[in-house]
Structure 1
Amino acid sequence: MSIYTAIATAAGRDGRAVSSDGRLDVNLALQKELGGDGEGTNPEQLFAAGYAACFASAMRLVAAQQELDVADAAVTAEVGLSPNGKGGFQLSVTLRAELPDHIGPEAGQALLEATHQVCPYSNATRGNIPVELVIE
């Protein structure tokens, strides 16, 4: 049983994507790199924004459990799109976390690994696409 269900409708990479509650209403456009005009957002940008936000929230939860202060932390998600060699495409993700200076490299890496086990996006992508965790 879901505690929340998001609903959005789109007709493709060119046009609009709209959520059922109307809070999300964006113009979509095929990227210039794929032959489009790039005059709108695209699924990879939306995925990157969602993954970064979700991972940052999960990191705050895990950090609180570990008694770490990550109030000033930020996460940037880089979502790559590339041919899969079978006529289709595949995604890859690099998550770049900017952590406060008081969190050392070992504690930071442990925090990212623990967060990767909690984040719903990480759980959905695990084993399906490569995800790299990087401390900035």
Structure 2
Amino acid sequence: MSVSPVYTAFATATGGRDGKATIQGSDLVIDLDPPKEMGGKGEGNNPEQLFAAGYAACYIGAMKFATSQNDQLAKVPNDVSVAAEVGIGPRDEGGFGLVVTLKVALPGLSPEEAQAVADAGHKICPYSNAVRGNVVVTTELV
């Protein structure tokens, strides 16, 4: 597999799950804290939340790109939304793993049109491509 990056993001984390993360070129500083379910106070954000936000936004972009490249696909409506749920937990094989559910709303599209757009998005989305074969991703049309 070969990738020719047209953009590279830079972020730095300090302190781990109970530290801080910064985005280079931005004033954004993210206070990190594990969720209560993982022994934290739940007072900050966590990597799974950040991954969920990134995946949801990127997946919408991928669906839009897919429909711009294929006239057979219905166009993505302006009020499209994706709610991403990212779960973390121990794996049977050891270590930890993720599970993802993407709840995709494509108002105005028939179920068949929406499914075709959702499927096309997964073929293009770099997050989908990165996790394929390693993370169970479920897509629900809502």
Calculate the aligned-residue CA RMSD, in Å: 1.3
Q: 1 CA distance for matches of 2:90 and 2:44?
A: 22
Report the equivalent of 2:117.
111
- Aligned partners of 1:26 and 1:41 also within 8 Å: yes
Report the equivalent of 2:21.
17
Q: Normalization by structure 1: what TM-score?
A: 0.93
Q: State the one-letter code of the partner of 2:125.
A: C
| Structure 2: gaps of 5 or more residues | none
Q: State the one-letter code of the partner of 1:123.
A: N
- Aligned partners of 1:94 and 1:132 also within 8 Å: yes
Partner of 2:17: helix, strand, or coil? coil
Q: Determine whether 1:47 maps to 2:51.
A: yes
Q: Determine whether 1:58 maps to 2:62.
A: yes
Which ranges of 4 or more aligned residues in structure 1 deviate by more than 2 Å?
A: 63-67
**Taking every aligned residue pair, what percent have the same amino acid on both sides?**
50
Identify which of 88, 109, 131 aligns with 1:125. Answer: 131
Report the equivalent of 2:99.
92
Report the Cα offset of residue 69 of structure 1: 4.1
Q: 1 CA distance for matches of 2:34 and 2:107?
A: 37
Partner of 1:13: helix, strand, or coil? helix
Identify which of 2, 7, 10 aligns with 1:4. Answer: 7
Report the Cα offset of residue 107 of structure 1: 1.3
Q: State the one-letter code of the partner of 2:99.
A: S
| Residues 60-108 of structure 1, C-alpha deviations (whole Å, 9 max, x = no match) | 222333352421111111001111024411001011111112x111111
